[in-house]
A and B are shown apart, each in its own frame.
Chain A
Amino acid sequence: MLTIRTLSRSIDWIVVAAIATLMTLGVMFIYSSGINSEGDLVSSEYIKQAIWAATGILVMLGVTLLEPKRLPDYTVIIYGFFLIVLVYTLIFGRVVNGARSWLGVGDLGIQPSEFMKIATIVFLSRYIEMSLHEGHSFKRFAVSLAIVVVPMGLILSQPDFGTALVFLPIYLGVAFIGGVSPRYLAFLMLTGSLAIVMTVMPLWQGLVSTKPALFMRLFYEAPYVYYVMGAALLALMLAIAGYRFFRKRYYYWISYVSLIGFLGLGSSLVGQRILKDYQVMRLVVFLDPSVDPLGSGWNILQSITAIGSGGFLGKGFLQGTQSHYRYLPQQSTDFIFSIISEELGFIGGVLVFALFLLIAFRLILSIRTLSSAFQRSVVAGVFSMILFHFMINTGMTMGIMPITGIPLLFLSYGGSSLWAICLGVGLCLGIGARRYES
């Protein structure tokens, strides 16, 4: 056990400072986004955010007091608890932005899916540690994946596509550092990519290409897609048989590829059924915003315009035009980065990037010094989560990532995501502070 004093000496204050800086920026620009075209403040979001940020820092520091070694024992309870909360939300939750994702009364409420991310990280890390002896086994891959897929499925059925998506990089990060077979992870990534691409393809072809490529139609249009899947399945069987009899490596790889094809196409068909048109549209629009300049593309075009018009030094705090004239949508949440870049310019944007890079760096470097697989996995999970949120959100505002509606951590308005990531970072800081303790 560390005393408070030694703990305070070993905490990575650089990360805390970086986060505090980001939070300050966030509150500032949530304030800015609340100014309307007449120059009046019309929103008190910034006050709430300031309170959440301050309490968030306290939560983060408070969590460092927890003894990381005793944490694994509680991960099942945490994970189970939030799963139940998620199920409860799914039934009794409040609908916000088309997703039944909120729990609470009146203005007070939480988004359990945000906390589920952290719960999943710790429970997954616990399993990774417990199953270390299984090494690269398929069972380890499958069980660990199942731990992620269950909450992901629940969140998908809210439906909140963006939040659910975050669980994939979290899984990949944790599993990669935790030593799950990279071959399986690659398999997962390739199958997932194929599934997503082929889910979007029909709409994309219909909207963008004047003449859909005949070749591509084989992979999404009934009945051709069934023939292709049948062919993949046949190749898979033959390759498995071949591998059985001849034990040649290339049979293994043929079956590997065939299975990716079969499962990828199969899940794309399922995806086309499950995903709402507007969700697929967001992906299409990301590829070409001009497809729908006034619908989903509007957000991207306005955001790019706001960012681009900021120039090198920006228009100055509270001087943005696209934001204050309300051309920029969802300024305080999803598009907070756009208003920062408009008003602070390239300098401000790069500052945000650098702060995130710094946090990510400090987290990932701390992994090297950690002795337990659980602790390494937790840090890797939080790292993946921060990096993914950062990549998708700022990428989206610049038009190089699809619109998925996930917040920019530490900056975007919203208490749940802020507290959840503070919890996560707090765990990492606590783990890091005790790295030499053994």
Chain B
Amino acid sequence: MSDLGDRPSAFPSGRILMLIGMGVAVFIWYASYLLYLQVVRGGEYRVRAVNITRQLEKLPAQRGEIYDRNYNLPLVLNVDSFALTIVPAEIPPDMLDTVFAKLAALVDMPITDIQKKIPPAYYRLFQPIEILPSIEQGVINSLAERLDEFPGVSWYSRPKRNYLETGSFSHLIGYVGEISRDELKVFYNKGYQPGDIIGKSGIERQYDSVLRGRDGRQFKTVDVKGRRIDGAVRDVDPPIMGNNISLTIDRNTQILAEKALGERIGSIVVLKPATGEILAMVSYPRYNSNAIIARSGNNEYARLLNDPGNPLINRAIQSSYPPASTFKTIMTTAIIEEKAFPLEAKVLCTGEISYGDRVFRCWIRKPGHGRLDLAGALAQSCDVYFWEVGRDKLGIERIVDYAKQFGFGVATGIDLPGETEGFVPTPQWKERKFHEKWLGGDTLNLAIGQGYLLVSPLQLANMMALVVNEGVIYQPRILKDIRDPASGSIISRTTTEVLSASRISKDTFKLAKDYLRGVITDGTAHYPLSTKAVTVAGKTGTAEVGFADRWHSWFVGYGPADAQNPEDVIVVVSMIEASNPWEWWAPYATNIVFQGYFANEPYEEAAAKLGLLKRPAAAIGRVE
């Protein structure tokens, strides 16, 4: 019984219909939208669901090891280490600071370093960001135990480079580091990714593509906290190991040369002229590759950059100097070949000549060498002879032409990054550069390897190689072969290739060799090159750098001078940036290298046999 007597039929059914219509409309709308989501776009969402739960894990490829030419003991290998990464978006926003602080304490790094690596702009990034490239197993263990406290934090195995041989090997082998933004721009198309380790210098850089191999990938299914779900299907794309490399460097010779140079600023190169193989390449001051890749490596690198001695520079190929009297080797060859001056004809050296308003003094000063023919002039390194013959008989054009035939002024193309080209001055160049005419005085300077002429120690080794090979320079190289990392079998080997050939006749070279031998038998290098282990030929040099107390001491030589088999011959170049008389060490260092190499003795033994250990410094005199 209704209070107000409303009859049921009286109720306006329009309103009910409206509500029913609303319900039906919502149902149709929702059901069709659900159909759209699940059926029309279902595939898309299934892919997305898989992607969300799938996390890419990098399986780093083992970088190839580096060996010397004997392929017995590695110079570089890899040790176990882990890279620590953070996926910022997996850290709940209110926990960011806590996680950072805890992590900083655990791995013992300032929290600001983490905050610098993950600025607020990255907080929503799902990409893992590397925090530390290498941490030890122990830290990983304690991290794994407390993983719940570290959302978004993970790690992956990344073997760390261990340079077993540092010392002079560091310049050759170089070091690795995380790819920089600029490098990424250049190498992105070659498959490099942010966070990759790339060779930064030396062989590591030159042959990065050989050594690095290819990183593998593995997909793992993870829950929202990034924990792996066991039993889920894993797609694995295995890593491909990098290839091993064997260098032309001979470990013993390298160490011998390193010790022979000692702690003198300079460089020694040992080259096998018959093949172009570099047996040793030493530069001082040097750096330690392990210190650069260590955790405090950035500080070490900054220190090296600011060091006035430029220890990062490999002086054997990255620095150039006036070749000084060693250039007389080229002058001699040119005079013989061009028949510019009779070989027996003599020039009187009174210790100086006047030219224009200047007086040019032979290194021996007054009263001079007396009368010398070409052989004597080379042996005594008489400046006056080469001034007069060079200026009056040979002429600047021919001197420049010969310098270029000997490989000066162009890079040798050695397989190491950052090589210098050196420089050969020409009258055209001087006019262009200084708007001054090329003067006779410039020719005088060039004739004795001074002035604007610049060569690297390796170029000087090539110069001597041309003489030894009688007209050919072989491409200098440091890579011997590439080997399979598992079996050690050779995948490819570098071959001997001609870098340049000259028009000079073989007879000329034969004569020049005799003269160069004369430098040792009765010339300036008679006493320093005292080794009995091998017959040596070569040329000394002392470049004046323009400062009263700075010289560059050179020696370039080869031996055995009487070799039957050209394969036996080695060329040794020593260059020392001397600032004290007792550092005119280049001929002595070369002496030790020849002795040690041919007598198969280590440095200590060779030096002792030559009487160069603990020898009073003053007794070592200047040789020109």
A387 touches B124 (CB 8 A): no
User: Do the beta carbons of B11 and A368 come within 8 Å of each other?
Assistant: yes
Chain A residues in 8 Å Cβ range of B4: 129, 132, 372-373
Query: CB distance A307 to B34 under 8 Å?
Result: yes
> Is A321 interfacial (CB 8 A cutoff)?
yes
B227 within 8 A of A: yes
Task: Judge whether B223 is part of the interface by a CB distance below 8 angstroms.
Answer: yes
> Given A36, A37, A308, which contacts B46 in the complex, CB threshold below 8 Å?
A308
Contact between B15 and A177, CB atoms less than 8 A apart = yes
A387 x B38 contact (CB < 8 A): no
Within 8 A of B (CB), among A359-386: 360-361, 364-365, 367-373, 376, 380, 383
Residues of A within 8 A of B221 (CB): 321, 325
A350 pairs with B34, CB closer than 8 A: yes
Q: In the complex the two chains form, what is the Cα distance from A306 to B93 in whole Å?
A: 23
B53–A325 CB distance below 8 A: yes
Q: Is B344 an interface residue (CB 8 A)?
A: no
Tell me whether A321 and B48 are in contact (CB under 8 A): no
A252 within 8 A of B: no
C-beta contact mask, B103-142 vs A, less than 8 Å → 1, else 0? Answer: 0000000000000000000001000000000000000000
When A and B form their complex, which 4 residue pairs have the shortest distance between CB atoms, in order from nearest? A308-B45, A325-B223, A309-B49, A371-B2
Which residues in B have their C-beta under 8 angstroms from that of A372? 2-4, 6
Number of interface residues of A (CB under 8 A): 58
Interface centre among A293, A310, A312 (most CB of B within 10 A): A310
In residues 66-88 of chain A, which contact B (Cβ within 8 Å)?
A: none
CB pair B31–A398 under 8 Å, yes or no, is no
Distance in angstroms between the alpha carbons of A316 and B222 in the assembled complex: 20
Taking A321-B221, A390-B26, A438-B1 as known contacts, 17 extra A-B pairs with beta carbons closer than 8 A to each other, sorted by chain A number, are A38-B230, A177-B15, A304-B45, A307-B45, A308-B38, A309-B42, A312-B38, A346-B39, A349-B38, A356-B27, A361-B23, A367-B11, A371-B1, A371-B6, A372-B4, A387-B22, A391-B26
Q: Which residues, 164 to 203 on A, are CB-close (under 8 Å) to B?
A: 173, 176-177
CA distance A389 to B373 in the complex (A): 114
Across the interface, do B229 and A353 meet the contact criterion of CB distance under 8 Å?
no
Whether A373 and B15, one on each chain, are in contact in the complex, defined by CB atoms closer than 8 angstroms, is no
A117 nearest CB across to chain B (Å): 18
User: How many Å lie between the Cα of A350 and that of B27 in the bound state?
Assistant: 9
User: Is A136 an interface residue, CB under 8 A from the partner?
Assistant: no
Please give the distance in Å from A172's CB to the nearest CB on chain B.
Answer: 10
Tell me, yes or no, whether A400 is within 8 Å of chain B by CB.
yes
Cβ–Cβ contact A321 & B49, under 8 A: yes
| Docked-complex contact A357 and B27, CB < 8 angstroms | yes
Interface contact B30-A395, CB-CB below 8 Å: yes
**Chain A to chain B contacts (Cβ below 8 Å), 30 pairs:** A129-B4, A176-B15, A308-B45, A311-B42, A321-B50, A322-B49, A324-B223, A325-B223, A325-B229, A327-B52, A341-B38, A350-B34, A353-B31, A357-B23, A357-B27, A360-B23, A361-B20, A364-B20, A364-B23, A365-B16, A367-B16, A370-B8, A371-B6, A371-B7, A372-B2, A387-B22, A387-B23, A395-B30, A398-B37, A438-B2
Are B30 and A312 closer than 8 Å at their CB atoms? no
Bound Cα distance from A387 to B22, whole angstroms: 9
Asked if B37 and A307 sit within 8 Å, CB to CB, the answer is yes
In the complex, the chain B residue whose C-beta lies closest to that of A295 is B93
Q: Which residues of B contact A294 (CB under 8 A)?
A: 89, 93, 124
Residue of A with least CB distance to B123: A294
- Tell me, yes or no, whether A21 is within 8 Å of chain B by CB: no
Contact B16 A310 (CB under 8 A): no
- The reply on A345 being an interface residue by CB < 8 A is yes
- Cα separation A173 to B27 with both chains bound (whole Å): 18
Q: In this assembly, does A217 line the interface, its C-beta being within 8 Å of a C-beta of chain B?
A: no
Complex partner residue of A305 from B8, B16, B49, B222, CB under 8 angstroms: B49
Cα of A310 to Cα of B53 in the assembled complex, Å:
15
Query: Residue of A at shortest CB range from B22?
Result: A387
Chain B: CB-nearest residue to A310: B38
Given known contacts A37-B229, A346-B35, is B15 in contact with A309 (CB within 8 Å)?
A: no
A279, chain B: closest CB distance, angstroms: 18
Q: Which residues of B contact A312 (CB under 8 A)?
A: 38-39, 42
Residue A94 is within 8 A (CB to CB) of chain B in the complex: no
Is B224 part of the binding interface, using a Cβ–Cβ cutoff of 8 Å?
yes
Shortest A160–chain B CB gap in Å is 22
CA–CA, A373 and B10, complex, Å: 12
The answer to whether residues A37 and B223 also contact, given A307-B34, A307-B37, A373-B6 and a CB cut-off of 8 A, is: yes
CA distance A295 to B20 in the complex (A): 37
Shortest distance from the beta carbon of A3 to any chain B beta carbon, whole Å: 19
Q: Chain B, 217-238, contact with A by CB distance < 8 Å: what is the 0/1 string?
A: 0000111110101100000000
Question: In the complex the two chains form, is A311's CB within 8 Å of B34's CB?
Answer: no
Chain A residues near B6: list those with CB within 8 A: 371-373
Least Cβ–Cβ distance between A51 and chain B, in angstroms? 29
Interface contact A345-B19, CB-CB below 8 Å: no
Known: A294-B89, A325-B53, A373-B4. A307 touches B225 (CB 8 A): no
Does any Cβ of B come within 8 Å of A120's Cβ?
A: no
Given A129-B3, A308-B44, A438-B2, answer yes or no on A346-B34 (Cβ-Cβ < 8 Å).
yes
Within 8 A of B (CB), among A304-343: 304-312, 321-322, 324-327, 341
Question: Which residues of B sit under 8 angstroms from A258, Cβ to Cβ?
Answer: none
A322→B46 contact, CB < 8 A: no
Which A residues are in CB contact (< 8 Å) with B1? Answer: 371, 438
Q: Is B42 a contact of A310 with CB atoms below 8 Å? A: yes
Does chain A have a CB within 8 A of B24?
Answer: yes
* Chain B residues in 8 Å Cβ range of A369: 8
* A364 engages B16 (CB within 8 Å): yes
A33 at the interface (CB under 8 A from B): no
Interface residue? A144 (CB, 8 A): no
Given contacts A325-B223, A369-B8, contact A345 B24 (CB under 8 A): no
Contacts of A324 in B (CB 8 A): 223
Please give, as numbers and ranges, the residues of chain B lying within 8 Å of A380 by CB-CB distance. Answer: 19
Closest-CB distance, A122 to chain B (whole angstroms): 16
Q: Is the CB of B44 within 8 A of A293?
A: no
- Interface readout for B482-497 with A: 1 if CB under 8 Å, 0 if not? 0000000000000000
Question: Known contacts A311-B38, A361-B23, A387-B23: does B49 contact A306 (CB below 8 Å)?
Answer: yes
What are the residues of chain A within 8 A of B48 when measuring CB–CB? Answer: 305, 308-309
Asked if B188 CB lies within 8 Å of chain A CBs, one says no
In the complex, A394 has a CB within 8 A of chain B:
yes
Tell me which residues across on chain B come within 8 A of A349, comparing CB atoms. Answer: 31, 34, 38
B33 within 8 A of A: yes
For the complex, give the distance between the alpha carbons of A309 and B37 in Å. Answer: 8
A368 touches B45 (CB 8 A): no
What 0/1 readout, one digit per residue, does chain A (32-50) give for beta carbons within 8 Å of chain B? 0000111000000000000
Tell me if B72 counts as interface (CB < 8 A to partner A).
no
> Would B34 and A398 count as touching, CB distance under 8 A?
yes
- Nearest CB of B to A296, in Å: 12
Q: CB < 8 Å: which of A36, A293, A325, A398 contacts B124?
A: A293
Say whether B303 faces chain A, with CB atoms less than 8 Å apart.
no
A256-291 contacts to B, CB under 8 A, are none
Most-contacted residue by chain A among B15, B38, B222, B229 (CB, 10 A): B38
Task: Judge whether B564 is part of the interface by a CB distance below 8 angstroms.
Answer: no
CB distance from A86 to the nearest CB of B (A): 29
A residues in contact with B224, CB < 8 Å? 325-327
Rounded to whole Å, the gap between the CB of B243 and the closest CB of chain A is: 40
Q: How far is the CA of A177 from the CA of B7 in the complex (A)?
A: 15
Question: Using Cβ atoms and an 8 Å threshold, which residues of chain A touch B23?
Answer: 357, 360-361, 364, 387
A309 neighbours in B (Cβ, 8 Å):
42, 45-46, 48-49
Q: Which of B6, B8, B33, B50 has most chain A Cβ within 10 Å?
A: B8
Closest Cβ neighbor of A370 among chain B residues: B8
CB distance from B148 to the nearest CB of A (A): 13
Which residue of B has the minimal Cβ distance to A401? B30
Q: Closest residue to A369 on the B side, CB-wise?
A: B8
B residues within 8 A CB of A367? 11, 16
B223 near A308 with CB under 8 A, answer no
Q: A309-B48, A312-B42 are in contact. Are A368 and B8 (CB under 8 A)?
A: yes
A370→B48 CA distance, assembly (Å): 51
